[in-house]
Structure 1
């Protein structure tokens, strides 16, 4: 190794990437991991990789020293960086895989940079901020032949597999309608961008945190959590929770690209007669409807997403005092012969009426992941990386996670199109039309294009700030 000090402090065995290049199995069966985003969810991601007993946390990277503090204490031998680009450039030969747990707007550039170096990647949900980015990461996984996994750990749970077995056995017939809902956001949305800037905390590199996003002054309370409600950085309630909630029906029904999307969006009132118009901010609530062509000759599926506390009508088969989903979140699939329901992550799958859950027995045809959504999702990725590309199955590889993320982000495209504002011809200065409202957007999935309202296509792919553009995105 180039850096003998690092070798002595952090490594006991040379990583397989150094020994024999991509795909070579090291004698140690150890995976050397670099974590981009060492705080928040990154803290638990990194810790869970280490719990496998087969992963060495070799490097840590975070733009905020405060957020990284716990991981740095847990892994004192891991060398620490603030700029992931510097870490990749200087240490690329000293690790095998990269974990990305950063705000949504940075996922794609960080993951792709690692993949282009031949590194396996684990990327937190949602996989990307934009539809185009999701497509590019999906294609990159195949091109660079690396093991990939998205951080929707429920995809490794028993619940999703149980629902697939019920459906495959014909228990509820053909599904024609799906309802998914969440009580999020639990952060501010539907508000104007603050007019007052705030001092940048000394531990935070604000320019690195902004990354691909437009240059703006730092504002109070944006970091570490409230960025989720701003389109420049986050993907709102849908981006935050849908990967955990939509996974069961998306996987169970084998859905592909939606053919159309429409929505209604909640708003706030700034005075007695005027609704707030805050296009920088995600709305406080929304109801998105996507139509999916039926896979394999099955009927088409109408897919509902609801957030901000909006919930579907209770099924008649559910008792008046029985919990729908887990209360704040859930899934209901409506079939020609029955219905089934689950909570977040696919937990607590039930047939409706719930008495059927114990009465109906179908053969177990899908292997369970040891450790499930708790630790199995992480251990599975570590072991698959050690085995090498194509040698082991993982629950949420990008060829599955990518298309699902695209569908989720289609909902956000509709939500953002809803607020496209145009001054009304001949009207007063405060009179506007909203041409994206009250229409159904038609989607050409293979070509990533809305075919009947071109202005919506600006949300398929965003422009990166100068200095952050990269080949492949």
Structure 2
């Protein structure tokens, strides 16, 4: 198939990732005033991690799904429409976004325009264009930002990066990473029947800027990730949790291209409806959802290739793996000229392969500065401290890389950046 071409953004050097301005309005106060938008699931968890600060306002479109979080903060102002929250709550310093992917950019841009610090669920946005717009706005407004890749601050990620950087496995040309997602339905046709949404849920607000469609419980709660209009599939959901290690361990620039393959499903059909007259089946058409399983390849300058697998797929078993061992359910595998390194999907549990050769190998020196904590990084940055590890400049890089792969899955074409 013909390749697609997308302009590549100008690479920001490592120092630029730390470019977040210091003190903002009210930053000298002991505690931030924080608002939460989309608090029914992950958003509620993010808020709990920031309870050292003042949780002053909450917005969610689903009264039932968000009930526990509303109850946890009874003194916080309560809204359904996040736009009204931003309009009325003048005293807030920061916004935590836990909504579905398709509304991240709209909420983040509105909050940043008002000079609010922003913490946002991963992926930062649903599209590459949105990621660039949000990163640009954050730079210009000089607000503290953080994307919800908690492992960016983990000891396990640091250790994995240090092992790779130590040179013990030599120059790395290939990296393989695999996830146990999706854990929601994919490969579905659009429901034929409309279902009336409950009175406790505002479907139109949930849709936001997405194309209008009738409500159906196959979208909400939780299962929206598999739909093109709302989510970014398994790769968009989980890719950032592993890509940050790969980028930092190998000090990679943006990729030059991404290609993908994915499964298809055959269903019984009479010969007059079959894909070919001699067949008794047809390909199930699911033009609005991600496939059940996909594999993605990114090519980087200098010849490095990174491979992604989801939906139960895994990479070929490395020959260095001990004969009786199996690849784990999820993982991250670096293949170097002198050996291989197998770790957890988000780092940790490092195994040098073959293990018999490296069993007594001492760990490398700690050359990477350790984090004060993922959420504390963002809080301290909002009070004038250094930029968080997964601020929106670095967050945009790994989000765009994941979304480049998402585009390759959706189109079935090789997607290229302009050099």
TM-score in terms of structure 2 length: 0.88
SS at match of 1:122: strand
1:163-312 superposed matches below 5 A: 163-271=160-268, 272-294=280-302, 300-312=303-315
Partner of 2:365: 363
Given that residues 189 and 281 in structure 1 are in contact (C-alpha distance below 8 angstroms), is that contact kept between their aligned partners in structure 2?
A: yes
Structure with greater contact order relative to length (CA < 8 Å, sep ≥ 6): 2
Distance in 2, matches of 1:198 and 1:347, equals 45
1:360 to partner: Cα distance? 3.2
Q: Deviation at 1:269?
A: 1.5
Secondary structure of the 2:281 match is: coil
Q: How does 1:360-439 map to 2 (within 5 A)?
A: 360-370=362-372, 376-386=373-383, 388=384, 391-418=385-412, 436=413
Bigger Cα displacement from structure 2, 338-347 vs 100-109: 338-347
TM-score by length of 1: 0.78
> Partners of 2:348 and 2:61 in 1: how far apart?
34
Native 8 Å contact 2:162 2:366 kept in 1: yes
Query: In the alignment, which residue of structure 1 is the partner of 2:5?
Result: none
Aligned equivalent of 1:69, options 64, 67, 70: 67
CA shift, 1:144, in A, is: 0.6
Counterpart for residue 318 of structure 1: 321
CA contact (8 A) 2:96 2:119 kept: yes
User: What SS does structure 2 have at the residue aligned with 1:58?
Assistant: strand
Deviations 1:8-59 (A, max 9, x none): xxxxxxxxxxxxx962455542011100111101111100111xx2x11111
**Residue 381 (structure 1) shift:** 1.1
CA distance in 1: counterparts of 2:34 and 2:347, whole angstroms: 29
What displacement does 1:163 show? 2.0
Q: For the Cα contact (< 8 Å) 1:22–1:118, is it kept in 2?
A: no
Alpha-carbon distance between aligned partners in 2 of 1:347 and 1:117, rounded to the nearest angstrom: 39
Residue 423 of structure 1 corresponds to none
SS of alignment partner, residue 127 of structure 1: coil
CA deviations 1:330-381 (Å, max 9, x no partner) are 11011122221221322323322345365133211112224xxxxx211221
Instruction: Structure 1 unaligned segments of length 5 or more: list them.
Output: 1-20, 295-299, 371-375, 419-435, 446-473
Match of 2:415 in 1: 441
- 8 Å contact 1:135–1:403 — kept in the other structure? no
**Pick from 97, 101, 104: which aligns with 2:98?**
101
Shift of 1:151: 0.2
Structure 1 residue ranges, 4+ long, deviating more than 6 angstroms after superposition: none
In structure 2, runs of 5+ residues without a counterpart are 1-21, 269-279
Give the CA deviation at 1:130: 0.3
Paired residues, what number?
386
Cα displacement (A) at 1:323: 5.2
Alignment CA distance shift 1:68-1:283 (3 Å): same
After superposition, the Cα gap between the structure-2 partners of 1:164 and 1:347, relative to the gap in structure 1 and judged at 3 Å, is closer
